[in-house]
Structure 1
Amino acid sequence: MSDTAFAPGVPGPASAPDGPVRAFLRVVVIEHSVFALPFAYVAALAASFDVSRSVHWLDIALVTVAMVAARTFAMATNRIIDRKIDGRNPRTAGRELVTGVVSVRTAAVGAVVALGVFAGSAAALSWLCLALAPFAVAPLIVYSYAKRFTNFPHAVLALAQAVAPVGAWIAITDRWSWASVVLGLAVGTWIAGFDLIYACQDAEVDRGIGVGSVPARFGIRVALAASVVTHVVTFALFVVFGLMEDFGAWWWAGLVVTAVAFWYEHAIVSADDLSRVNRAFLTANGFVGIALFGFAVLDFVSRGLAW
């Protein structure tokens, strides 16, 4: 089953870490936090522009801490809950909690600490953010169990990821925004779309051990087609967000680049050849998040956002 909930682990056996902290960071693949952050930053900058036309640096720093902490909690929890399933899948059998390189207790302590940091960051932002924090955490936990009761865990993943831009917007403004919801849905469908591709690697194994996913239930060709449709929806939502926030030429240029990246991602993977799935994820999707954020920054600068 795909583990792209918060960024997939690197396939293959894990090498021995130097110590417990480094081992835990390997469990949660901490360096992949960059995948979730760019669109939270886009939401935060858009909110800052709407409120004061200046960057709220302290709030953005707290958003960063909250995002990394939430993702760390989610990954550690996912690894704990899925360790027996991971042990039955050759692709994931080398993970630290399966091999014992990291103990369940260590991972659990790390998850609790990360959850505490997340709650503390939310409280530092505002009481509203703290009150809404459980609604951000709940989908992160539900996702880890979703594959056990549905063939569509990718939809739960989409919901979990959609929370980030909405939360970042509320962190800056302390109020609801439909624009942030649109961006959140774009991020959710974006990640769910490449999760559909990533899950194709495990379709046969998932089917054998009773793990639910679209590729396992409906086949790889259907999953890849669904991924294309999902990313078309993603692109449309990016367009709607740009219109709602009155973005200029830089944002639209970024969407052209994004469209090319989406085309590349889907062109290099087929039902007959999944050998480049990791390239589709690590290269194409990593590029989409960082590049579109860069174009958004250029757009904000061109429209007078004070730094």
Structure 2
Amino acid sequence: MLFGTKDTGPVADAVRRHWVDTHLPSWARPYARLARWERPIGWWLLLWPCWWSAALAAIAKGAMLPNLWHLALFFIGAVAMRGAGCTYNDLVDEDIDAQVERTRSRPIPAGQVSRAQAKVFLVIQALVGLVVLLQFNWFSVVLGAASLLPVAIYPFMKRITYWPQFFLGLAFSWGALMGWAAAFGHLGWAPVVLYVGGIAWTIGYDTIYAHQDKEDDAVVGVKSTARLFGIFTKPAIFALYLLATALFALAATLADAGPAAFAGLALGALHLAWQGLILDIDDPDQCLKLFRSNTVYGWIVFGGFVLDAAIGGL
């Protein structure tokens, strides 16, 4: 059942000449595209809150490094669950994706995979995520299972509210809770504040991303913060990124972080300000570039947290 695919070519906004399109066998490429393997920015954005939280936990515990085993598990889980989420999203949004220029080349509307094949692939990815989740303590297992609720409702929110990016933030920032829970077996104020900051950050970067599709979205009736903010997107982005930075700094304070962590957040804030300053909401290519640049932001913040843990653990 898994082998009856049809490779009609890359998805419109994929990374060009990616190994998915050059090295995988033709039958596997549609599944890789369904999981967005050729667009790694998605699993990076899902992974960063996990790694930030694990690094803050290391600072709070006085450890020199985050738990490397946990970091590896979060990486595998982020790739698997981001893929599962994208597969689920594409099953729900097939009718919409077929009407939007950027998304009509996705595997399901393009006929590369059938709905039945996509459902089987969804289950396989979810099982990988379950195996990863079961490696943690039971508090983390229950907490991780609870993340399925925002994941399940997110694809429907663009039909109901102009704030689907908020619900994406609920799902994509969940790792801010997981890293801490995996280290301590419970939650505290630091990961909760980090989670709320992650939601603000997610709304910001996904608003930039959504400006690629605003014309098609208006035609098919899809709602987004890009359409809601409109010409006021720049001040909205600055406000969201400022809120995220303030909450990240508060989370670091609650974790008893030192100067290196705040230096990383300050440097990251400059990167976010750069995004807002040069943003042209009518340039889809630039919007995609700025959206992808949040991987750099993630590394900056993580680097600051890890350096702070290393200094504090001496």
| TM above 0.5 | yes
Match for residue 25 of structure 1 among 32, 37, 51 = 32
How many residue pairs were aligned? 295
Q: Please tell me the residue identity of whatever aligns with 1:42.
A: W
Matched, 1:289 2:291: no
RMSD: 2.4
Residue of structure 2 equivalent to 1:301: 310
Residue of structure 2 equivalent to 1:101: 112
- Shift in CA distance, 50/10, structure 1 to aligned 2, threshold 3 Å: farther
Q: Following the alignment from structure 1 to structure 2, what is the Cα–Cα distance between the partners of residues 171 and 91?
A: 38
Residue of structure 2 equivalent to 1:279: 289
- Greater helix share, structure number: 1
Residue of structure 2 equivalent to 1:110: 121
Q: Secondary structure at the match of 1:276?
A: helix
Alpha-carbon offset, residue 269 of structure 1: 1.5
Q: Following the alignment from structure 1 to structure 2, what is the Cα–Cα distance between the partners of residues 161 and 174?
A: 21
Scaled by the length of structure 1, the TM-score of the pair is: 0.87
- Shift in CA distance, 10/268, structure 1 to aligned 2, threshold 3 Å: farther
Cα deviation digits, residues 147-174 of structure 1 (max 9, x gap): 1111110111111122111012112211
- Shift in CA distance, 10/141, structure 1 to aligned 2, threshold 3 Å: farther
More displaced, 19-28 or 237-246?
A: 19-28
Q: Following the alignment from structure 1 to structure 2, what is the Cα–Cα distance between the partners of residues 124 and 12?
A: 32
Contact 1:189 1:230 in 2 (8 A): yes
Q: Following the alignment from structure 2 to structure 1, what is the Cα–Cα distance between the partners of residues 177 and 94?
A: 31
Consecutive unaligned residues of structure 2, counting only runs of 5 or more, are 1-10
Scaled by the length of structure 2, the TM-score of the pair is: 0.85
Consecutive unaligned residues of structure 1, counting only runs of 5 or more, are 1-8
- Shift in CA distance, 183/49, structure 1 to aligned 2, threshold 3 Å: same
More displaced, 54-63 or 103-112?
A: 54-63
Contact 1:39 1:293 in 2 (8 A): no
Residue of structure 1 equivalent to 2:255: 245
Q: Secondary structure at the match of 1:41?
A: helix
Matched, 1:212 2:223: yes
Alpha-carbon offset, residue 275 of structure 1: 4.2
Q: Following the alignment from structure 1 to structure 2, what is the Cα–Cα distance between the partners of residues 167 and 211?
A: 31
Residue of structure 1 equivalent to 2:235: 225
Residue of structure 2 equivalent to 1:259: 269
Contact 1:266 1:280 in 2 (8 A): no
Q: Please tell me the residue identity of whatever aligns with 1:138.
A: L
Q: Following the alignment from structure 2 to structure 1, what is the Cα–Cα distance between the partners of residues 186 and 14?
A: 44
More displaced, 265-274 or 91-100?
A: 265-274
- Shift in CA distance, 57/286, structure 1 to aligned 2, threshold 3 Å: closer
Q: Following the alignment from structure 1 to structure 2, what is the Cα–Cα distance between the partners of residues 289 and 13?
A: 20
Contact 1:13 1:95 in 2 (8 A): no
